[in-house]
Amino acid sequence: MSKTFVCPRSQVPANGMIECEVEGGRKLLVANSGDDYFAYQAMCPHQDVALCEGLYDGAVLTCHQHLWQWDIRTGAAVGLAEAPLEGFPVQVEGDSIYVVAQSTVNSTELFAGIPDATLQAIIGLAKREEVGGGKTLYDVGDPSHDFFILESGRVEFLIGRDQHMSPAGFMLRKGEVFGWAALLENQPHRIARATCLEPSQLLRINGHQALELLAADPAAGYVVMRRLSSLIARYLTSSGSK
């Protein structure tokens, strides 16, 4: 288990919050509540707005842009908010605040709870990639060989054609899967442009090889395909509502 220094505890106001940049350029929001400290994604999961510019009363964080709110102890959405915050386990040692690294594939919604042998085989296919901010991972029409799991950072999706691209209306959270055309039959090309908005860490998994593993374990395959269909429905609903 690795840990990354975030900031001195003394820099975080009592029942207040600050934005910190950690090694590698990633920004985090660090908040204090009583004796406890919490670390979350620095940007609002709705749009590109810094959460440190919002309102915080020591218990509930409010984004000033459209008033989405979150419980600071859990990151859970409150009231109008449609998505939770991505949180990072915090460790405090003396005056130093650290975040502790977590495994991602096991906690990915798509694969949660499938038999361990199949899960481990899928993990064995994953290749970790560091991608710079501003880099386009794939564009509309590119071949869809691989799907991805976001480990850290932010990925934006644009849909449309040529000069008429517009935001798909959602941002991914840690552990979410994208590029899922690679898991669909008769979908050999990308239908969106995916761009990393900041330095991001991804797991790249070959779709064809993953499907072969799932075909060999039909119970796991059934679970994953059901989850995939609801994931797609959720993204389509999200895109259509913006």
The binding site for ligand FES (CB under 6 A) comprises 44, 46-47, 49, 63, 65-66, 68
Rounded least distance, CB 44 to ligand FES, Å: 3
The residue (of 36 and 48) whose beta carbon lies closer to ligand FES is: 48
The residue (of 49 and 125) whose beta carbon lies closer to ligand FES is: 49
Rounded least distance, CB 85 to ligand FES, Å: 11
| Closest to 138 in 3D by CA, of 149, 130, 147, 127 | 147
The residue (of 66 and 208) whose beta carbon lies closer to ligand FES is: 66
Rounded least distance, CB 216 to ligand FES, Å: 43
Rounded least distance, CB 170 to ligand FES, Å: 12
Rounded least distance, CB 157 to ligand FES, Å: 16
The residue (of 172 and 177) whose beta carbon lies closer to ligand FES is: 172
Cα torsion angle, 47, 156, 60, 109, sign: positive
| Closest to 154 in 3D by CA, of 198, 192, 194, 193 | 198
Contact 94, 78 (CB under 8 A): no
Strand order in the sheet with 127-131: 127-131, 200-206, 146-152, 177-178
H-helix or E-strand spanning residue 118? helix 116-125
- Residues whose CB is less than 8 angstroms from the CB of residue 211 and which lie 6 or more positions away in sequence, other chains included: 183
The residue (of 19 and 139) whose beta carbon lies closer to ligand FES is: 19
How far apart CA 186 and CA 73 sit, in angstroms, is 44
